Structure 1
Amino acid sequence: MAYFEAFPNTWMEYIVTYQFVPDDKEGRKNLYSLGHKHMHAFEYKLNLIPDSSYYKKLVNIAIGARKDADAPSYLQGCVKDHMINHSEEILNALAPLRKGHRFEFWEFYFSNIIAVETIEEELNRLVELHKDCHPEDVQMMKDAFKYFYNGVNQSSVSYLEAD
């Protein structure tokens, strides 16, 4: 429980904790090099945390997240892995949130810089699974997929550098 409570609660806390920053002049190290290990522990080692608390926190971290290498990719992978068997729990964590926040979650979830067949299959799976119980979220999924899949720039690339 202490690890769960100490883990970042928002995207800003998460990215500030795990983004790449060179060590400072006094030799203090940041947590960039531990991001993968910490995300692995968050994803696989917290099986005693109640699902409602766990997925609320996971959703909260993903809202506002931006696709990029390393720490954002670890987070996106964690969310996608959990979506395989726990999509209902994730949708329940999203349910009480404002539409804009829910859309930001789906934006991050479907953000990808290239076309990948498995992501298209995932959209179809989620739509089929939740179209009757969560029609509003299914529409948000489709809209986010339309705008943020296959062509989103990584956040470390400036607008001037992008194609």
Structure 2
Amino acid sequence: ESKEAQMAYFEAFPNTWMEYIVTYQFDPDDKEGRKNLYFAGHKHVYAFEYKLNLIPDSLYYKKLVNIAIGGRIDADAANYLQSCVKSHMIDHSEQILNALAPLCKRHRFEFWEFYFSNIVKSADIEEELNRLVELHKNCHPEDVQMMKDAFKYFYNGVNFFSHGYLDAD
């Protein structure tokens, strides 16, 4: 609950997608969870999402965006992170867009790719795109276009990365 404890947790949490997924991905050869923190992933992401209320927004959202860039949708760890990002997008989309602003277009697009990646159609995700477009079309037109493009290519039909690539049938 203290600022020092929250900062220590925040600093210990992974900083990039690669650090995150190596820390929390499932390893079928590690049934006892000795190689990584797969079995603690849900609790760790929950704490990162809900318990760090004393971390300045600018630091928090910069890190959250940085972890999501390059993310690939999958079960468990990737799903926990995507849910965390989507949860924060509800009330903090401006802070997230501000964290994205100084990044190059490619990295911003990779963020939106992860954000909108989904296996099947979902009215909730379609509504979320429309909400974000309406909310930010005047202030962040370039990011709104990236959202639309990422939605177009990564919504409804992206495979879990652990399953490989399937035919486009």
TM over 0.5: yes
Residue from 23, 31, 36 that aligns with 2:30:
23
Aligned to 2:116: 110
Aligned to 1:12: 18
1:69 equivalenced with 2:85 (yes/no): no
**Alpha-carbon shift at residue 28 of structure 1 (Å):** 3.1
Count how many residue pairs are aligned between Structure 1 and Structure 2: 162
- Following the alignment from structure 1 to structure 2, what is the Cα–Cα distance between the partners of residues 116 and 138? 20
Letter in 2 for 1:5: E
1:122 equivalenced with 2:125 (yes/no): no
- Following the alignment from structure 2 to structure 1, what is the Cα–Cα distance between the partners of residues 124 and 139? 23
**Alpha-carbon shift at residue 160 of structure 1 (Å):** 4.9
Aligned to 1:159: 165
Is the 1:114–1:151 contact (alpha carbons within 8 Å) kept by the matching residues of 2? yes
Letter in 1 for 2:117: S
Q: Say which SS state the counterpart of residue 147 (structure 2) adopts.
A: helix
- Following the alignment from structure 1 to structure 2, what is the Cα–Cα distance between the partners of residues 135 and 142? 11
Q: TM-score, normalization: structure 1?
A: 0.95
Letter in 1 for 2:30: D
**Alpha-carbon shift at residue 158 of structure 1 (Å):** 1.7
Structure 1: gaps of 5 or more residues = none
Q: TM-score, normalization: structure 2?
A: 0.92
- Following the alignment from structure 1 to structure 2, what is the Cα–Cα distance between the partners of residues 24 and 79? 29
1:52 equivalenced with 2:58 (yes/no): yes
Structure 2: gaps of 5 or more residues = 1-6
Fraction of identical pairs, as percent: 81
**How large is the Cα RMSD of the aligned pairs?**
1.6
